[in-house]
Amino acid sequence: MERRYNFNAGPSALPQDVLSHAQSELLNYQQQGMSIMEFSHRSKEYQRIHDGANELLRELLEIPDDYEVLFLQGGASLQFSMIPMNFLHQGYMANYLLTGSWSQKALTEAKKIGEAYIGGSSKEADFKRIPDLNALKYGENDAYVHLTSNNTIHGTQWKSFPQRKESTFIADMSSDILSRSLPIDQFGLIYAGAQKNLGPAGVTVVILKKDLLSEIPDNLPTMLDYRTHVDKKSLYNTPPSFAIYMLSLVLEWTKKKGGLKEIEKMNAEKTKLLYTTIDGSKGFYSGTAEADSRSSMNVTFTLPSKELEDLFLKEAEEEGFVGLKGHRSVGGCRASIYNAVPLNSVQALSDFMHTFHHKHNI
């Protein structure tokens, strides 16, 4: 079977080596006569996978010892509620930095729990850029400051993160975790749905500084209390075992590729190729994000007319390209070039864009 060029925003491409490995073990995991999906989550076989994924993620991201790593369910969307439930207390306010739809959704959920305000936003610029670090506002009663590191819909990304020793920063890194080196110790909590760079949908990674656990109130529902999952090492209830197994394979693949240093180089090469194609088209393709805020994961662009965009997407699909339609809320086109998207796929897209440009230049 010929593989298609997968540029889906999520669930997104997985490394072909990982898929092949999983396929080889699907019916008979390590000659145990069972699929990994059939093992008890209390078994020694699954425990090795669970612990190995935790250790490898710590190694690749250089997570300090004073942080917990959790494997939860519910996606980033559940974290929108869990975070204020655990850390937004009476007399304090949550500070949200708005850069797109997902940070807006996180703010909406926080306001259902307690008081929250906007400390910075690029909404007035249609979320085409990241807010100026020097223009961000903070309050003395901030419970935490929340940001979304990469914005899949609008194609923007924080290139450097705000720092303030008085503030606890929390970040939704669902769409760019594991794509570049990260200053973990600048954050109190990082969370990420797996379905972009970490693995398939179904597991959510939470990286939590241990000293925040003492701030959690005692009246929370058991499953919504981070301490529950810390105490039970993410095994309070049945975990998404197959998703964590796949996560472990993706982490092994990342390590074999040379870790974050090499992954970041590979992503930079893909990003440069695609943005050069857009910028060199003399306006036929127009990037929607401002140059200094462009995402290295989600490349968003438009064509001169809706008719040409529709034709571009139609012909692209006929050539084997998948997932190039922009989010329904903004339209246009989007190529998500996560870690697992190989350079040859991006080169093929660039070649197709050049060909389409020459055929339909106006």
Which among 203, 345, 339, 249 has a CA at the least distance from the CA of 23?
A: 249
CA distance 281 to 265: 25
- Give the Cβ contact number of residue 2 at 10 Å: 4
**Which residue among the candidates 128, 196, 270, 325 is catalytic per the annotation?**
196
Amino acid at site 280: G
Output the known binding site for pyridoxal 5'-phosphate. Answer: 76-77, 102, 152, 172, 195, 237-238
Residues 6+ apart with CB under 8 A from 232: none
List binding-site positions. Answer: 42, 76-77, 102, 152, 172, 195, 237-238
Active-site residue (options: 128, 142, 158, 172): 172
State the alpha helices, DSSP H only, in the chain: 16-25, 44-61, 75-87, 101-113, 226-231, 241-256, 259-279, 306-318, 343-360
Q: Which of 102, 142, 158, 176 is catalytic?
A: 102
Which residues define the annotated binding site for L-glutamate? 42
- Active-site residue 196, yes or no? yes
End-to-end Cα spacing for the chain: 37
The dihedral built from the CA positions of residue 271, 124, 140 and 77, taken in this order, carries a sign that is negative
Sign for the CA dihedral angle at 330, 335, 339, 341 comes to positive
Q: Is 172 labeled as catalytic in the residue annotation? A: yes
Q: Is 292 a catalytic residue?
A: no
Return the amino acid letter for 347. Q
Tokens of 327: 């989010």
Q: What is the DSSP letter of 62?
A: T
Catalytic positions, written as ranges = 102, 172, 196
